[in-house]
Amino acid sequence: MMVSKSRTRAPRKSPEERADEIRSAACQVARVDGLPGLTLRSVGAQAGVAPALVAHYEPSMDELVASTFEAITSAEVDEIAELIADDPNATSKLRNLITTLTEPGRDDVTIVWADAFSLGRVNRPLAAAVRDVMGRWQSLVSELIIEGVDAGEFVTDDAADVAWQFLGMIDGVNSHALVHYAGAPDRGRLVRRAMENELGLERGTLQPGGGQQGGAVGRRAGQ
């Protein structure tokens, strides 16, 4: 005698729940395989749904790549802004920022950035998302530098340019680290030295354990 077994169907989810699930799956794929790893099949496999269902909720792969990039990188901006918010002064914030952004544990986000700079050439929504998140970083770092200038810790007459230089160096040394170029394990050293020079700080001020108090010194501080 044959006994039939009925397959238990997964509970239906609301469109909002399913869309969130697919976006979350896309972020998980991108953190492991980078933005080029985002396909209907890979996202569907991660979410446990058919590729056709992913296409139903995300009909444009360019838009999905862009929104995935923005979700991952915006979350990092929020996380780091909160992380440095309670540091006692601008020098401590900058020291902490450099250490955090150059630690190997963030290589998954670095990969997403590196992919975005390349893919953004042909993916207009992604290029727009890159500019938006870069703008958030520019604002965060510029405001930190202005805080240091106002407190007498830093000396510069162009916080925006120094912030741009800082971000360019971070992107550069982190990208070098992805291919294990030169002194990748000590990638933060170059950024610290450059920022000490740009902001009139004593050598070693931005090294981990360099002390809590900052202060511009020498000719650039008007001495």
Averaged pLDDT score across all residues of the chain: 90
Could you give the CA distance from residue 145 to residue 93 in angstroms, rounded to a whole number?
A: 10
Are 143 and 46 members of one domain?
Answer: no
The pLDDT tens digits of the residues spanning 109-130 come to 999 999 999 999 999 999 999 9
Q: Say which CATH number the domain at 28 has.
A: 1.10.10
The pLDDT tens digits of the residues spanning 23-40 come to 999 999 999 999 999 999
- Work out the average pLDDT over 195-215: 84
- More reliable by pLDDT, 150 or 11: 150
Q: Residue 188 class from Cβ within 10 Å (0-12 exposed, 13-18 middle, 19+ buried)? A: buried
Query: Could you tell me the residue range of the domain that residue 133 belongs to?
Result: 69-199
Are 52 and 148 members of one domain?
Answer: no
